[in-house]
Amino acid sequence: MAVSIRRSDEIGADPVDRAVGQRLRTLRRARGLSLEAIASGTGLSIGFLSQVERGLSSPSLRVLALLADTLQIGIAGLFEPSPSEPDPDPIVVFEKDRPELQLWRAGITKQLLTPPGGTQGMSLFHLVLKPGASTGDEPFSHDGEEAGLVLEGRLTLVVEARTLQLSEGDSFRFESRRPHRFSNPASRNRTVVLWVNVLGVSRPENS
């Protein structure tokens, strides 16, 4: 199930961008944070953040990671909750009910596979990268740790100074605070990755 879309008076806003922006605005207001506070925490301009919330700018995965950290949630927290009757003991996410986040300009679709509730410390995603899809030339970092398995196609994963070429069956793991980016190097075939994000990873203290 994709991020829900409500009517908006914004002219020129893409429906997917508008839905993401509305979700971000709801999360920000629920935490009593102003656009100024978010701008201070992320280094992004108030004008840009306002455009994102109105659906007039399409946020990259790097921007979404910054916003998730500032809102003190994982990337999974940016997904719109299912409007269906909530399960008091969520254990299963049926395929038809998967929340979805479309980064359509980047060519990436993320589906959340883990049910809501619990500690929110671990999230499992199903990522599909269209041919040539990329998180961009600029690496990003955020809280936690991540791991994954390439289910289909090829994946170029850059972690700090290392560029790694993965194929179907290859897997990875690294701390999310290490600057990273990834892409589908293929020009014709998609890439599918089972991706895990874990929050609350302890980092060694400086002695």
pLDDT at 120: 59
Residues of the chain with pLDDT under 70: 1-13, 80-86, 117-120, 200-207
Determine the pLDDT at residue 190.
98
Q: What is the pLDDT of residue 86?
A: 66
The DSSP annotation for 71-122 comes to: TT--GGGGSPPPSSPPPSS-----GGG--EEEETTTTEEEEE-SPS-TTS-E
Question: What is the predicted pLDDT for the residue at 20?
Answer: 83
Q: Which amino acid is at 199?
A: L
Cβ atoms of 20 and 8 closer than 8 Å: no
Task: Give the model's pLDDT for residue 4.
Answer: 36
**Distance between CA atoms of 150 and 113, rounded to whole angstroms?**
16
